[in-house]
Amino acid sequence: MIDVTGEHRPHLGRLGEQLAAEHLIRRGFQIVERNYRTRWGELDIVAFDGRTLAFCEVKTRRTRVPGRNPLESVHARKRSKVRKMAGSWLADRSNRPHAQRLRFDAIGVTVDETGRLVSLEHLEGAF
């Protein structure tokens, strides 16, 4: 899909997810799964740190859209979908890690025109 500016959205999304995954790994998480597809959409990242299983919704923006925070698009409908996708993942993955806690995180990634990271905002327990 190409938007009106000619930007390839799937490429931008993959870049943001990769940067978010690297961030989670630096924070001590193991990436359990990426891009799990369900009837409600795609669960971006499932990560585990030995205690917490985090279901992460990643939103990515370019800096040329000033004043727009990537996390603005994690609205109530999207949060509901992520919860449903997480439930599907939990039911589908019998060999998943045993977690003491489940958490829903939102990660907002902003990159410049060359794809370099400008900012990353990680809201633990965002919803």
**What pLDDT, on a 0 to 100 scale, did the predictor assign at position 73?**
86
Average confidence score pLDDT of the chain: 91
Segment 39-92, tens digit of pLDDT: 999 999 999 999 999 999 999 999 866 667 899 889 899 999 999 999 999 999
Share of the chain above pLDDT 70, in %: 90
At 23, is the pLDDT very low, low, confident or very high (cuts 50, 70, 90)?
Answer: very high
**Over 50: is that where the pLDDT of 4 sits?**
no
Radius of gyration of the chain (CA): 15
CA dihedral 116, 79, 124, 17 (to 10 degrees): -30
Residue boundaries of the structural domains of the chain: 9-123
CATH topology of domain 9-123: Trna Endonuclease; Chain: A, domain 1 (3.40.1350)
User: Residue 93: how many CB atoms within 10 A of its CB?
Assistant: 13
∠ Cα 65 2 39 (to 5°): 100
